[in-house]
Chain A
Amino acid sequence: MLIPLREADGRCGTKAANLGRLLRAGFDVPAGFVIGDPTGDHGWGRKLESALPDLGPGPFAVRSSASAEDGGQASFAGQLDTTLGATTTAQVVQAVRRIARSGAGPEVTAYAARTGEAAGDVVPVIVQVMVEPEAAGVLFTRHPVSGADQVVIEATGGLGDKVADGTVTPQAWTVDGGGVTGPGRAEAPVLTRAQVLALGEVGRRIEATFGVPQDIEWAVAGGKVWVLQARPITTRPEGSRPVSSGPGAVLLRGTPASPGTALGPVRVITGLDDFGRFRAGEVLVCRTTSPAWTPLLARATAVVTEIGGMLAHAAIVAREFGIPGVVAAPGAMAMLADGQQVVVDGSAGTVASATSAATDR
């Protein structure tokens, strides 16, 4: 059973159902279809052979549509299985089989664990034309850490799948009403102001379509905003706006990654050979972190990194230790000097100079 994406509904998995709804609401979603039950229905292979050329020459993206049925929780399930860049019919068939065989989505596994029954194997699979994006990324219709009512856009040039990885720093914009801030000191912005505004507008319209704040994967190609996935923001922060740090002048801005405010002396650490210089209670300033850096983070008052995003190692470990963290603050290592007293506000994403009032706190 091949179902055109435009007709996808709840039987096709949450992800395809959401894409179907977006198509019917007039959004640009790459053309595709859903195979409802690739393991149970054996007729799909032949239908796919004739349907694939209608989509175009490829390449194609093949993804699992399995996702938590309530849609608002555990939303990462839909990302579990993806094959990008399949070009021939044989490759697409193979990818569909692999994803279908990879079995039940996590929610099905959990359900099976609760009921003690074997998990059903129905994993609907989506086949879509891959767009060749000029830029791609994610956007949130609420600030994912501060909860402010803004559209936050993270973008990289080309395919957007590195944004969540933490190894590439996405360029970030914030759209607040008609105002645009960003992308900081990026040498070559990957989006124009008009594209940023268009993305903000698409985000708002999708939020209105579904009625709750959305986490959206998008791509810009051929002058269009393509919607690749939309789902409710899993963790919707409180409505509080980020507070700009009170003390001193703001020296640096980055992505707020671990909440809280802390005061301490800066220690710039350039690499492994530099670890011996770090002292407990200092503000760790570095390019990025890896497991070797965990003992430093454990003793740091706060952390500031030059690259990475909300999902980077430094961000996750900082939250674990309950220390404020600001990531993707370009130039931090050059701008901050050892021993300098700073206030790191991990909720606002700022590093400020400490005033005497702050030092007294």
Chain B
Amino acid sequence: MSRHTPADVLVLHAVRTLGYGDTARVAARVGLPEDAVREHLLDAQAHGWAAHTSFAGDGGWSLTEAGRVRGERLLAAELDGVGARPVVEEVYRDFLPLNAVVAGACTAWQLAELGIGEQTMTLAETVATLQGPATALAGIEERLVSHLDRFAGYHHRFSSALTKAGDEPAWITGTDRDSCHRVWFELHEDLIATLGLVR
């Protein structure tokens, strides 16, 4: 049976995977009301687990080192509680070659856009290359969600970004939107955090 992660853990973990985001974005990420999420974030701030900073006006939440350590401890307890460590480790091994494809395709597309190249990747080729990981992500997510439902959503987000990328290439590596690279990297961060790995 798949496990529901408590809201306070979800909120702390969303800050970890998003890296940086305002309350509305954290709330959207965990699918909880903004008011409830704000309370959890303020609690985390009071404990010294999260910090609110603003860069040139736009404010957002990020974790402190203490918050990162606490988050990893909670995730490890949850993971071992449901006995899913071997599954997530196996998923991570399957994820790595896909990660090479995604990072490689994003890189090739960026180099093409920068004009560093004679034989460049076209947008259509980049989108086609990312279709494979998009398809594989469905299976990866299914394996994760069968134990921990907090992993739901990556496949849908990645596929949505990829669909939009055909018309608007910013959806491949843009940092101002839920782009292919951003969604993929959040999953990478999620797996690393869940397994307590060091980047």
Contact of A76 among B104, B174, B189, B199 (CB under 8 A): B104
B114 within 8 A of A: yes
B107 lies within 8 A of A311 (CB): yes
* Chain B residues numbered 110-150 whose CB sits less than 8 Å from any CB in chain A: 110-112, 114, 116-122, 124-133, 135-136, 139
Interface of B is mostly: helix
Q: How large is the interface on B (under 10, 10 to 19, 20 to 34, 35 or more residues)?
A: 35 or more
B63 within 8 A of A: yes
CB closest residue in chain B, given A276: B53
Q: Which of A109, A280, A299 has the most CB of B within 10 A?
A: A109
CB closest residue in chain A, given B186: A291
A147 CA to B139 CA in the complex, in Å?
A: 38
B63 lies within 8 A of A272 (CB): yes
Known A-B contacts A103-B135, A294-B175, A320-B175; A311 and B114 likewise in contact (beta carbons under 8 Å): no
A151 within 8 A of B: no
B168 within 8 A of A: no
> Residues of B contacting A164 with CB < 8 Å?
99-100, 103-104
B84 within 8 A of A: no
B101 within 8 A of A: yes
> Residues of A contacting B135 with CB < 8 Å?
102-103, 109
Contact of B100 among A79, A271, A275, A319 (CB under 8 A): A79
A313 within 8 A of B: yes
> Residues of A contacting B173 with CB < 8 Å?
316, 319-320
A310 to chain B, nearest CB (A): 6
B117 lies within 8 A of A237 (CB): yes
A73 CA to B105 CA in the complex, in Å?
A: 11
- How many interface residues does A have (CB within 8 Å)? 58
Contact of A74 among B64, B107, B121 (CB under 8 A): B121
Known A-B contacts A237-B116, A273-B65; A295 and B60 likewise in contact (beta carbons under 8 Å): yes
- Segment with Cβ contacts to A, from B15-23, B35-43, B73-81, B151-159: B15-23
B125 to chain A, nearest CB (A): 4
When each residue 241-283 of chain A gets 1 if its CB lies under 8 Å from chain B and 0 otherwise, what string results? 0000000000000000001000000000001110110001000
A316 lies within 8 A of B116 (CB): no
B143 to chain A, nearest CB (A): 12
Known A-B contacts A165-B96, A280-B56, A291-B18; A272 and B107 likewise in contact (beta carbons under 8 Å): no
CB closest residue in chain B, given A296: B55
A320 lies within 8 A of B174 (CB): yes
Known A-B contacts A79-B100, A237-B117; A292 and B20 likewise in contact (beta carbons under 8 Å): yes
B188 to chain A, nearest CB (A): 8
> Residues of A contacting B130 with CB < 8 Å?
106
A316 lies within 8 A of B106 (CB): yes
A106 CA to B105 CA in the complex, in Å?
A: 12
A176 CA to B49 CA in the complex, in Å?
A: 50
A293 CA to B62 CA in the complex, in Å?
A: 9
> Residues of B contacting A299 with CB < 8 Å?
55-56
B6 within 8 A of A: no
Contact of B132 among A80, A290, A298, A317 (CB under 8 A): A80
CB closest residue in chain A, given B116: A237
> Residues of B contacting A320 with CB < 8 Å?
110, 173-175, 181
Contact of A236 among B68, B98, B117, B199 (CB under 8 A): B117
B118 lies within 8 A of A238 (CB): yes
B72 to chain A, nearest CB (A): 13
Contact of B96 among A110, A162, A232, A272 (CB under 8 A): A162
> Residues of A contacting B139 with CB < 8 Å?
102
B13 within 8 A of A: no
When each residue 148-165 of chain A gets 1 if its CB lies under 8 Å from chain B and 0 otherwise, what string results? 000000000000011011
B121 to chain A, nearest CB (A): 6
* Chain A residues numbered 5-52 whose CB sits less than 8 Å from any CB in chain B: none
A236 lies within 8 A of B101 (CB): no
Known A-B contacts A76-B100, A275-B62; A316 and B114 likewise in contact (beta carbons under 8 Å): no
* Chain B residues numbered 30-71 whose CB sits less than 8 Å from any CB in chain A: 51, 53, 55-56, 60, 62-65, 67-68
B134 to chain A, nearest CB (A): 9
Beyond the given A74-B105, A102-B135, could you list 12 further A-B residue pairs with CB under 8 A, ordered by the A residue number?
A80-B98, A105-B132, A145-B116, A165-B96, A236-B118, A237-B116, A288-B199, A290-B185, A293-B19, A294-B175, A317-B175, A320-B181
23 contacts between A and B (CB under 8 A): A68-B128, A72-B119, A79-B100, A80-B98, A80-B136, A81-B136, A102-B136, A103-B135, A110-B127, A166-B103, A167-B199, A234-B108, A234-B119, A235-B107, A237-B111, A238-B118, A272-B51, A275-B51, A292-B19, A310-B107, A316-B106, A316-B173, A321-B175
- Top 3 nearest A-B pairs (CB, nearest first) are A291-B19, A164-B100, A292-B19
